[in-house]
Amino acid sequence: MSEKVLIANRGEIAIRVARTCRAMGLETVGVFSDADRFSEHVKAMNFSVALGGVSPKDSYLNIDKIIEAARKTGARYVHPGYGFLSERAEFVRVCEKAGLVFIGPSAESMEVMGDKIRARQTVDSLNLSRVPGSPGAVSGAPEALKVAEQIGFPVLLKASAGGGGKGMRRVDGPKDLAAAFEGASREALNAFGDGSMYVEKLILNPHHVEIQVFGDGKGGALHLGERECSIQRRHQKVWEESPSPLMLRFLDLRLKMYETALKITSHIRYAGAGTLEFVADEAGNFYFLEMNTRLQVEHPVTEWVTGVDLVKWQIELAQGVWKMPKKQELEADGGCSRRGSALEVRLYAEDSKRFLPAPGPIGAIQFPSGPFVRVDTAFTGAGEVSVHYDPMIAKISTWGSTRSDAVNRMRVALDETRVEPPKSTTAKVKGSLGTNLEFLKRLSRHEDVISGNTTTNLISDSPELTSDSSSPLTPHEVLAVAVLDLLSKQSQGPSLAAGESVGPAATHRKVWSATAKREGVGL
């Protein structure tokens, strides 16, 4: 009888993990909430268990329900994916107590590096470089102000238990700190149940670079190169790539960052896939930010350039059969052989002017295909981006023998992608779907992206990227569209439904309807 792996997640990452499990001859157990009963990840599993509930806390964050699902189905292993319970030390311990094998690092590693304060203290104990700031959580706004004045403004107030930009505020001067502290702490308390904050120097115009590592749990570790993740909005990544254009210009910097990442990974006896995040500047300085003790959303980028299936490695380590590759030197081309360049973008259901979620029903969807294109998604046709979970629709990644090849293939892939709302007007009651597809197309053609000169300020400094408003059409625009509709009806040309286009320019044209919103039409 095949061993079973329970995948404690949903959407594209659950499908991606299940694919590797099948290739390894393992059976999969999926879990789903009431909102996900018809989702694609349920169909991708050998067995599925209903968790009930709709909100994350009643379903994918409910540890007791996850453990009971594993018990009912006879699962031996639990893979957490990313998000939800993937970095909860408590979940690891409950799995172990229930006789389950958690596919990931130990609870101790999570506690040391998952807590941002303890992670900073660990890095300090190793005499490694980190972003200047408070050594631990501050007692309140007065202490935060004292630290900020010592290290100099601007600073970032950051939640100790935070992530994804929640509980984070930029402060440019003393008069703004108290209000920012109160707001960030309140947001962190609501999001993570912990309102504690620390202060960090804001590195202006930096590059965000992360190192993928893999540890054997005994002090052995190797790296699989870096990823540049500088293109972000609202402190969340939009575009990731490997290798980093910055690191190719500073090979000494690259080697120092590899060495730092491996020192930390070995010191905590880390087991499995993890990521060390850094900020770096054009002068060749770099600073530790944090460690993510799980598989990253952007792991396909590393898989493209190394040929390594990171999920397979995770499972083999949990089975006790994984062996450290012989090649783990700190040479400039990586701890594992790497070739070419890879990129990934995140296709979201969102208002791409304000970068706010815009979930809703999907009427039709089309993704690119080809030997150098990979699409990780939970949508294959009509469906719905739920209001209850992260609004990511898909991750699209490309590979090329050169970075230029990979960028060109990404442009083609995005041009071949279509996401359309249902044509029926009754679907509007569920919300109007919006996507960031047009934004991603413009991003792939941006001069700085093409040249590889990307920093975390790229989007905020490039208003042309978000100039295509995602607001409803204005009255004047509605009138103009109505006139065009009338003229088109009087012509002999073919009638087009909203969002459809004819001829080779289909990927660049939009056809509007008077009732349509920008974010949902012609994508």
Q: What is the 3-state secondary structure (H, E, C) of 359-414?
A: CCEECEEECCCCCCEEEEECCCCCEECCCCCCCEEEEEEEEECCHHHHHHHHHHHH
* pLDDT of res. 212: 97
* pLDDT of res. 478: 45
Is-cis flag, bond preceding 80, omega within 30?
no
Averaged over 364-370, what is the pLDDT? Answer: 95
125 occurs within a structural domain:
no
- 8 A C-beta contact, residue 28 and residue 5: yes
Beta strand extents in 56-113 (DSSP E only): 77-79, 101-102
Averaged over 495-512, what is the pLDDT? Answer: 27
- 8 A C-beta contact, residue 226 and residue 209: yes
Averaged over 256-281, what is the pLDDT? Answer: 96
Q: Which two tokens stand for residue 338?
A: 């790497």
Let me know whether 227 and 313 are in one domain. yes
Which CATH number do you get for residue 398? 3.30.470.20
* pLDDT of res. 236: 87
Q: Backbone dihedral region of 47: left (phi > 0), alpha (psi from -120 to 50 degrees) or beta?
A: beta
419-445 pLDDT per residue, tens: 998 986 554 555 689 999 999 999 999
Taking the C-alpha atoms of residue 500 and residue 487, their distance in angstroms, rounded to an integer, is 17
Which CATH number do you get for residue 167? 3.30.1490.20
Averaged over 8-12, what is the pLDDT? Answer: 98
- Counting Cα atoms < 13 Å in the Cβ hemisphere of 110 gives 19
Residue 423 phi, psi (nearest 5): -75, -20
Let me know whether 76 and 57 are in one domain. yes
Beta bridge partners of 362: 383
Averaged over 317-330, what is the pLDDT? Answer: 81
378-387 pLDDT per residue, tens: 999 999 999 9
Who has greater pLDDT, 438 or 473? 438
* pLDDT of res. 375: 98
Taking the C-alpha atoms of residue 63 and residue 137, their distance in angstroms, rounded to an integer, is 28
Among 14-28, 97-111, 163-177, the least confident range = 163-177
- 8 A C-beta contact, residue 108 and residue 88: no
Let me know whether 313 and 349 are in one domain. no
Among 218-222, 276-280, 479-483, the least confident range = 479-483
Domain range spanning residue 77? 4-103
* pLDDT of res. 4: 98
**Strands 207-216 and 221-233: what pairing?**
antiparallel
Averaged over 514-520, what is the pLDDT? Answer: 27
Averaged over 45-64, what is the pLDDT? Answer: 96
Name the average pLDDT for the chain.
Answer: 86
| pLDDT at residue 454 tops 50 | yes
Averaged over 25-31, what is the pLDDT? Answer: 98
442 carries an active-site annotation: no
* pLDDT of res. 284: 83
Let me know whether 486 and 363 are in one domain. yes
73-116 pLDDT per residue, tens: 999 999 999 999 999 999 999 999 999 999 999 999 999 998 88
| pLDDT at residue 522 tops 70 | no
Let me know whether 72 and 55 are in one domain. yes
* pLDDT of res. 508: 26
Taking the C-alpha atoms of residue 168 and residue 192, their distance in angstroms, rounded to an integer, is 13
213-233 pLDDT per residue, tens: 999 999 999 999 999 999 998
- 8 A C-beta contact, residue 227 and residue 209: yes
Let me know whether 261 and 292 are in one domain. yes
Q: How many domains does the chain have?
A: 4
Which CATH number do you get for residue 13? 3.40.50.20
pTM over 0.75: yes
Is-cis flag, bond preceding 325, omega within 30?
no
Averaged over 270-294, what is the pLDDT? Answer: 93
Q: Please, what is the end-to-end C-alpha distance for the chain in angstroms?
A: 46
109 occurs within a structural domain:
no
Catalytic residue among 120, 294, 403, 418: 294
388-399 pLDDT per residue, tens: 999 999 999 999
- 8 A C-beta contact, residue 170 and residue 125: no
Residue 380: name the closest of 369, 362, 365 by CA.
Answer: 365
333-361 pLDDT per residue, tens: 445 678 999 999 999 999 988 889 999 99
Let me know whether 444 and 413 are in one domain. yes
CB-based contacts of 134: which residues, under 8 Å, 6+ apart? Answer: 143, 144, 147, 198, 199, 200
* pLDDT of res. 67: 98
CB-based contacts of 255: which residues, under 8 Å, 6+ apart? Answer: 330, 331, 332
123-163 pLDDT per residue, tens: 999 999 999 999 889 999 999 999 999 999 999 999 987 76
209 — pLDDT class (breaks 50, 70, 90): very high
58-68 pLDDT per residue, tens: 999 999 999 99
187-200 pLDDT per residue, tens: 999 888 889 999 99
Averaged over 156-172, what is the pLDDT? Answer: 87
Q: Which of 201, 221, 252 is the last residue of a domain?
A: 201
Q: Which of 152, 167, 201 is the last residue of a domain?
A: 201
Taking the C-alpha atoms of residue 379 and residue 26, their distance in angstroms, rounded to an integer, is 24
466 occurs within a structural domain:
no
